[in-house]
Structure 1
Amino acid sequence: MTRPRPFRTAARMAALATAVAGTVLAVTPPASAAVPTGRYVALGDSYTAGPLIPTQVDLNCLRSNRNYPSLVAASAGSAALADVSCSGATTADILVGGSGELGIPLPPQLSAVTADTTLVTVEIGGNDIGFSGIISDCAQASLKSPLGSPCKNTYTAGGTDQLRARIDATAPKVASVLRSVRAAAPGARIVVLGYPAILPDSGYGCWPVVPIAYQDVPYLRGVAKALNTMLANTAAANDATYADVYTPSIGHDTCKSSSTRWVEGLVPENSAAPFHPNARGEAGMATALLATLN
């Protein structure tokens, strides 16, 4: 099934060569840990793939060889990694397939999960709720002034929180992914990763560096936490483990300095896509995943 990708824009693709040639963060890989050996399959979206983090090894999916699956596999030593994560992916891309950033058709990510797979990680759901559109809408609404809550007003108009409704609607889709993974690899350990903090865990953000209105910051923070809570609950209900990457990312949000942040802002200062993890963020998520596996 070929569908438009939520992440794809001509500007981002044009910036790829420049970003890949940029300065690489000095990040220490996570220490060796007791990780299931054997076949490791990584499923997920751009937060797994690592778009624009050098070195990009798959331009169709904007996938980096310094993303957290690569770091975890390296720490395990003998793990055989099949990383099929892809920028823009939704739950449908895992189950039925789609196309990459270059429009090249892709099989279902699930097809990489085989009966002998020992570990499967899944980070999905952000694009199902419309992550890119939400960030774009909220930033555009706040470009001229940080006052008020234009984003919240839009998404809660009429008395219904559209974003919370999207999260609720995504839960059964994530459950379907986990059940399908379990059917394909009955003996595998399945770990669902949440998403790291994009905005500060308290306060009202840092407009205009991150152009989100002051009163919209708590609202969007609540949406992010609700998404992670849904992922944790869905994992628990479907024979999977949840890896919390939000808590260790607190204090490393987009408002922090370029040498501290895990997630870049609207104008990245480290090689990464806007509002996506940089190499430090991928390493932080790898550490959180390894801690969960232990």
Structure 2
Amino acid sequence: MSSAMRKTTKTPAVRRLAATAAAFGSCLALAGPAASADAAPADPVPTVFFGDSYTANYGIAPVNHEGSEKFFCFQAKENYPTVATRRLADKGITLDVQSDVSCGGALIHHFWEKQELPFGLGELPPQQDALKADTQLAVGSMGGNTLGFNRILKQCSAKLRGDEGALLPGTPVDGDQPAAACRDFFASGDGKEWLDGQYERVGWDLEELLERIRYFSPDAKPVLVGYPRLVPADTKKCLTAAPGQTELPLADIPQDALPVLDQIQKRLDGDMKKAAADAGADFVDLYDHTGNNTACDGAGRGIGGLLENSRIDFGGGQKLPWYLHPNEKGRDIQAERVADKVEQILNR
């Protein structure tokens, strides 16, 4: 992203006010009594969950907001925010969930801009509207859609370019290039240039998101949640269908492109971690803890296969594909890691 573009997407006033709020909060922390190192707050902790389809846990049923346009956020009733909140309650830590505004398809800028729903069904307010002055935790996953991971998948899969990918938003990065050339496309030339630009945009947008949390909820502790690993180190695992499945976990994506997809995801994870550290926020690392639960790990997979049927019935018995989202096992891993991080934060 050019410096000119950066200026159009940044908000200097928000940056200054956020810095002032953070400094003021630091002074209060220094002046106040030391907290117990092993005692979480007794009072409920006002919490907002935000994010994209990985927070909403697309693919898991039943889904919230059935009968309304927000159904198309595909936010599972038992998504990781719900499961993590329950895990914490079992430990005597109560979250007062003010809102869960996670929605499938959300890009980072939908944190401060409206999000248009699919099929022309309307729009949702910016996710930041859920933040309150007394919010103490803001937790969620964002970055994959801004990077354009769906477009990357379509660049690498001929099947996704056809009817089987019709419900997956986005188009190939360059539809004139064959899916079989995916590896080389992203290694150099226009493909690499496009990818580098996407990472730059993710970095600036995450910085903006974290600043806005600080501004609208000065006492909130932001928690950015990374993404679980999709492709294993040993890509030979991806040449075997999971139990009960006939389609390969990564469908027709060429095997020589699988390490490229993994490198793309690993770089995203690193950029998210850096953005959190630079903003003084916390980061939940899922990539480094899910190497044995990828889409290619058979019965132990925490990720639904690319074209494997998910739990969502789209009408008439038609199941939507997982499109590489966490299944129930993967959701539980997300919830466990998030709950552990929240407990650490509240015990600091």
TM-score bracket, shorter-length normalisation: 0.7 to 0.9
Structure 1 length normalisation: TM-score? Answer: 0.80
Distance 1:239 1:101 in 2: 35
Say whether residues 1:128 and 2:146 are aligned partners: yes
Paired residues of 1:204 and 1:218 also in contact (CA < 8 A): no
Per the TM alignment, residue 60 of structure 1 is displaced from its structure 2 partner at its CA by: 2.7
Letter of the 2:79 counterpart: N
Per the TM alignment, residue 256 of structure 1 is displaced from its structure 2 partner at its CA by: 1.7
**Cα deviations by residue, 1:68-121 (Å, 9 ceiling, x for unpaired):** 111122223331221100000001211112123452210000000111111111
Say whether residues 1:235 and 2:276 are aligned partners: yes
Moved over 4 A (4+): 33-36
**Cα deviations by residue, 1:19-43 (Å, 9 ceiling, x for unpaired):** xxxxxxxxxxxxxx95893221111
Paired residues of 2:61 and 2:76 also in contact (CA < 8 A): yes
Q: Given the alignment, which residue of 201, 205, 210 partners 2:233?
A: 201
Name 2:96's counterpart in structure 1. Answer: 80
Q: Kindly tell me: are residues 141 and 71 of structure 1, through their superposed partners in 2, closer, same or farther at Cα, counting changes over 3 Å?
A: closer
SS of the counterpart of 1:168? helix
Q: Kindly tell me: are residues 167 and 53 of structure 1, through their superposed partners in 2, closer, same or farther at Cα, counting changes over 3 Å?
A: same
Distance 1:265 1:44 in 2: 22
Q: Kindly tell me: are residues 164 and 232 of structure 1, through their superposed partners in 2, closer, same or farther at Cα, counting changes over 3 Å?
A: same
Per the TM alignment, residue 281 of structure 1 is displaced from its structure 2 partner at its CA by: 1.0
Distance 1:158 1:270 in 2: 36
Distance 2:278 2:254 in 1: 36
Letter of the 2:48 counterpart: V
Distance 1:85 1:234 in 2: 20
Paired residues of 2:229 and 2:294 also in contact (CA < 8 A): yes
Q: Given the alignment, which residue of 113, 122, 126 partners 1:96?
A: 113
Distance 2:158 2:217 in 1: 44
Per the TM alignment, residue 291 of structure 1 is displaced from its structure 2 partner at its CA by: 2.2
Structure number with greater Rg is 2
Per the TM alignment, residue 160 of structure 1 is displaced from its structure 2 partner at its CA by: 6.1
Name 1:222's counterpart in structure 2. Answer: 263
Structure 1 unaligned spans of 5+: 1-32
Name 1:290's counterpart in structure 2. Answer: 339
Name 2:326's counterpart in structure 1. Answer: 277
Say whether residues 1:48 and 2:82 are aligned partners: no
Q: Kindly tell me: are residues 132 and 142 of structure 1, through their superposed partners in 2, closer, same or farther at Cα, counting changes over 3 Å?
A: closer
Structure 2 unaligned spans of 5+: 1-38, 66-70, 162-178, 240-246, 313-321
Structure 2 length normalisation: TM-score? Answer: 0.68
Q: Kindly tell me: are residues 100 and 39 of structure 1, through their superposed partners in 2, closer, same or farther at Cα, counting changes over 3 Å?
A: farther
CA root-mean-square deviation: 2.4
Name 1:163's counterpart in structure 2. Answer: 195
Paired residues of 2:185 and 2:191 also in contact (CA < 8 A): no
Aligned length: 257
Per the TM alignment, residue 163 of structure 1 is displaced from its structure 2 partner at its CA by: 2.0
Q: Given the alignment, which residue of 120, 140, 153 partners 2:158?
A: 140
Paired residues of 2:59 and 2:325 also in contact (CA < 8 A): no
Letter of the 1:100 counterpart: L
Say whether residues 1:182 and 2:182 are aligned partners: no
Name 1:14's counterpart in structure 2. Answer: none
Per the TM alignment, residue 234 of structure 1 is displaced from its structure 2 partner at its CA by: 0.4
Distance 1:217 1:118 in 2: 40
Say whether residues 1:153 and 2:171 are aligned partners: no
Distance 1:213 1:164 in 2: 22
Paired residues of 2:87 and 2:336 also in contact (CA < 8 A): no
**Cα deviations by residue, 1:110-152 (Å, 9 ceiling, x for unpaired):** 0001111111113111111111121122122899xxxx96212
Paired residues of 2:83 and 2:332 also in contact (CA < 8 A): yes
Paired residues of 1:123 and 1:192 also in contact (CA < 8 A): yes
Paired residues of 1:87 and 1:100 also in contact (CA < 8 A): no
Name 2:176's counterpart in structure 1. Answer: none
Distance 1:105 1:253 in 2: 33
Distance 2:44 2:279 in 1: 23
Distance 1:159 1:56 in 2: 39
**Cα deviations by residue, 1:240-280 (Å, 9 ceiling, x for unpaired):** 111101122111111122x3111111222552632111121
Distance 1:123 1:101 in 2: 20
Letter of the 1:37 counterpart: P
Q: Percent identity?
A: 26
SS of the counterpart of 2:334? helix
Letter of the 2:127 counterpart: Q
Distance 1:226 1:204 in 2: 22
